[in-house]
Structure 1
């Protein structure tokens, strides 16, 4: 078990899930605030050295979940698959609107058109972020914001993109994306997130499994307690070239049909896989990899289920890794209507397996949770003798005489912070905004 602390259960929320139809639509209001120890809002982008998201109202609701669970931490993820240029570190780190940290999701430094020097520049970015957060914490006498990253699990991508020992010095947690090892971009069937290699795996395919990827990070300089194992709440489906050939490695002719809700060929949320399994499908437990797959006619899907999550969680604990990360909370059966396994069957399995049933604490709706705040400020200072926050709940408040400033109340202490030039404090959204 990680020294001195419980395991972490980090869950990503994809902000485009709100646009899915019917029962697939997912907003922050659907999130159980006591399910995960850390929630990550994905994704924000950079525009003119400022953080932007799709829906700021979602951000407000997302961070409002901390009013219901005093132990919950939230982070803002910057990046995504299309993120391919180095972020400028000149943005003001306190423009984070109540988040407890920043998660870098650069896929990937040194790959996909990113030049080789970005391997070093990514380390510089993480180091400078960490140092800026430390400085901001000292100035405001508040907890330091967390710095985390979602990183590759493929060996060649790791080698091209990460200085593992140096990154490990400045990252609080390293979220290893141990999924998408196989998918419909290949011409044969393969599991999305196998725990171990298949006996038929040769060459580079022998590295495409959770066990190898996590141990590669650990053996090359990352502390086990900082390494967070990725768990997918989705699977990949394929069209079999010949329905009579349906084992691992069977030839395929393309991606399987898109799901009703996620609407992406070759990709199915767990709640979309469950109905498929009920329709006369042959289900197979692949013992060598400790994950299941299923097929019917010419459609084949490799996925994870509660049994596989339990086995991976036991393996995680045995190897002393820091916890689990799930992509994504909105892909589990969050309504409990598709799988007949209750709400959030995959993530609930992890929570129980990691001994986190008592690691969250609910708060009555009328009580404000003490949490790490933030806003669009360019800096802050303790107001010393000011008693403005003495009777105020944790949060941000306008300064009556100065629209370019706001009060930041933390544990009844008062800090006055200033907006960047051209911005004013927007009381509607509790953040800095254009005038």
Structure 2
């Protein structure tokens, strides 16, 4: 879904749509492309105007989109500009987009690995009020995301109890690990690590219930006040298949969240707006892994590799001629 709230307000009935959607991937990036002829970060968490992540997500929730169905967009690309004066900070005048990156060959849009090459020999400036970085070299100005800004966005995601994260795009990260010297896929790896951390605050960690019925969710099970039990990452789980459980009333009286089977930790139920979803973990060989899916919740994070055909199920967007691989939340 586009991050432009004026378009969203007139084109979507979110409260109605949400009843039929499992998740909504929000493109919380490219909010600024130099239209105002000044430098600006395209994916700031906060800002003085409405072109920021927080404003967009708050707007969508006010329009009726459940927080648990919203996937926060994480860009692995940067937006870059050519300065027209000696000013170099935020709001500095520009003459247009920056020169194309050596590999992507798109003016004003650089991959993270191209940005890493640009950063050699210059300093990274952190915009504390927006929780994002930028850098300047000569007349070229670039606003990008790094591991620090990813951490800030995941903290925000958890504080708002959003459904998860959606990345655009895998091939814009440093997939070879040769440019940024931070290992392969440094941004996505950091996102995976941050989402895998325990969600320990009271606001973002509800109690986990443990259904014991060995066949299906119980029709009459009542909510309990069990203490929070954190489920650790199961690294043997590479593939998760989630299906709706249309006839079950398991979630009728339960809060949204994950409910882990006590007799089988690789099978769990997710409650979303009183609907029950069943997820089972499967182990696949590496020859099947052509995309990555990160599945966070308040108390459980699983990592899975999914086939390219499954990626078609996600909401995707591909400017130019680039192929998209989506990192999203099931």
TM-score for both structures, normalised by structure 1: 0.46
Write the mapping of 1:212-223 to structure 2, written as runs, cut at 5 A.
Answer: 212-223=55-66
Match in the other structure for 2:148: 307
1:156 is the counterpart of 2:31: no
Q: Partners in 1 of 2:37 and 2:123 — Cα distance?
A: 21
Alignment partners' CA distance in 2, 1:308 and 1:167 = 31
1:245 aligned onto 2:87: yes
Q: Structure 1 360/327 Cα, relative in aligned 2: closer, same or farther at 3 Å?
A: farther
Q: In the alignment, does 2:141 pair up with 1:291?
A: no
Q: 1:171 aligned to 2:46?
A: no
Tell me the equivalent position of 1:276: 118
Of 318, 336, 341, 2:182 maps to: 341
What RMSD in Å do the two structures reach over aligned CA positions? Answer: 2.1
Distance change (3 Å), C-alpha of 1:212 and 1:285: same
Distance 1:370 1:191 in 2: 35
Q: 1:184 touches 1:266 (CA, 8 Å); kept in 2?
A: no
Write the distance in 2 (CA, Å) between the matches of 1:274 and 1:254. Answer: 21
Q: 1:358 aligned to 2:233?
A: yes
Three-state SS of the structure 2 residue aligned to 1:354 is helix
Structure (1 or 2) with the larger CA radius of gyration? 1
Runs of 4+ aligned structure 1 residues displaced above 6 Å come to none
2:100 to 245, 249, 258: 258
Tell whether 2:193 aligns with 1:193. Answer: no
1:27-62 deviation per Cα after TM superposition (whole angstroms, max 9, x unaligned): xxxxxxxxxxxxxxxxxxxxxxxxxxxxxxxxxxxx
CA distance in 1, matches of 2:40, 2:128: 14
Decide whether aligned partners of structure 1 residues 370 and 235 sit closer, same or farther in structure 2, where only a CA change above 3 A counts.
closer
Q: Which of 221, 232, 251 pairs up with 2:75? A: 232
Superposed CA offset, 1:143-167 (max 9, x none): xxxxxxxx11111111121101011
Determine the C-alpha separation between the residues in 1 that align with 2:45 and 2:240.
Answer: 38
Secondary structure at 1:166's aligned position in 2?
Answer: helix
Number of residues of Structure 1 aligned to a counterpart in Structure 2: 210
- Higher RCO (CA-CA < 8 Å; seq separation 6+): 1
Alignment correspondent of 2:299: none
Q: Distance in 2 between matches of 1:370 and 1:299?
A: 43
How far the C-alpha of 1:184 sits from its partner, in A, is 3.5
Deviations 1:66-96 (A, max 9, x none): xxxxxxxxxxxxxxxxxxxxxxxxxxxxxxx
Higher alpha-carbon deviation: 249-258 or 353-362 = 353-362
Offset at residue 315 of structure 1 (A):
1.1
Separation of aligned partners in 2, 1:331 and 1:338:
12
Distance 1:331 1:276 in 2: 15
SS at match of 2:82: strand
Pair 360,156 (structure 1): closer, same or farther in 2 beyond 3 Å: farther
Q: CA deviation at 1:220?
A: 1.5
CA contact (8 A) 1:227 1:321 kept: yes
Unaligned segments of structure 1, at least 5 residues: 1-150, 364-368, 373-393, 395-435
* 1:270-316, Cα deviation, whole Å (9 max, x unpaired): 010001001x2232100110000000111000000000001110111
* Distance verdict in 2 for CA 1:371–1:196, change over 3 Å: closer
